[in-house]
Amino acid sequence: MEMNKTKKPVEGLQYVSEQYPLSAETAKIIATAKKVHQTLGPGFPEVVYQRAMELELSIDGLNFQREVNFDINYRDHIIGKLRVDFIVENILVEMKAKSAIEDIDFAQTMSYLKVSGAKVALLLNFGSAKLGIKRLIN
């Protein structure tokens, strides 16, 4: 079965691929992250990018929450909590500011997806010359 690869224009991006869930929404978030990265560039602490992202998300009119906690359940007991940087339009957004995204960053973000029940997460890295963007699907 061939996947639908129709592409639609979205402001700030060349296209949206309909083969991914919440593709149009992730495109808007990525466009916002690109604005932040193009303005600040690499080299700042993660919290600086988080604050800039919060401002840009507000300006862009996107619905979001910052630093959302989720319970970690094990055998019907809460054994800990996870905190995701943002939930934007029902998409988890985890931000990093390091030279490259590592396997542990993927594992962490996949854990967030599992615990939250969300369908899609974006792992964004502002610490390299080019904005690092990884889409993860639950």
Residue 1's pLDDT band (cuts 50, 70, 90): very low
Total domain count, the chain: 1
Enumerate the β-bridge partners of residue 135. Answer: 122
Question: Is residue 61 included in any domain, yes or no?
Answer: yes
Question: Is residue 107 included in any domain, yes or no?
Answer: yes
Q: What is the pTM of this model?
A: 0.83
Question: Is residue 3 included in any domain, yes or no?
Answer: no
Per-residue pLDDT, averaged over 6-17, amounts to 41
CATH number at residue 77: 3.40.1350
Q: Which of 84, 39, 36, 26 is nearest to 58 (CA)?
A: 36
In the chain, the percentage of residues whose pLDDT exceeds 70 is 86
The domain of 72 spans 8-137
Q: Would you say how long the chain is, in residues?
A: 138
For residue 79, is it left (φ>0), alpha (ψ between -120 and 50) or beta?
A: alpha
The pLDDT score that the predictor gives to residue 17 is 52
Question: Is residue 59 included in any domain, yes or no?
Answer: yes
**What is the signed CA dihedral for 17, 106, 46, 126, rounded to 10 degrees?**
-40
Question: Is residue 2 included in any domain, yes or no?
Answer: no
Q: How far apart are CA 138 and CA 136, in angstroms?
A: 7
Task: Find all residues with CB under 8 Å of 48, minimum gap 6, and list them.
Answer: 40, 97
Q: List pLDDT tens digits, range 26-74.
A: 999 999 999 999 999 999 999 999 999 999 999 999 999 999 999 999 9
Question: Is residue 1 included in any domain, yes or no?
Answer: no
Question: Is residue 14 included in any domain, yes or no?
Answer: yes
The pLDDT score that the predictor gives to residue 18 is 58
Query: Rg for the chain (alpha carbons), in Å?
Result: 15
The pLDDT score that the predictor gives to residue 3 is 37
Report residue 65 CA to chain centroid gap.
12
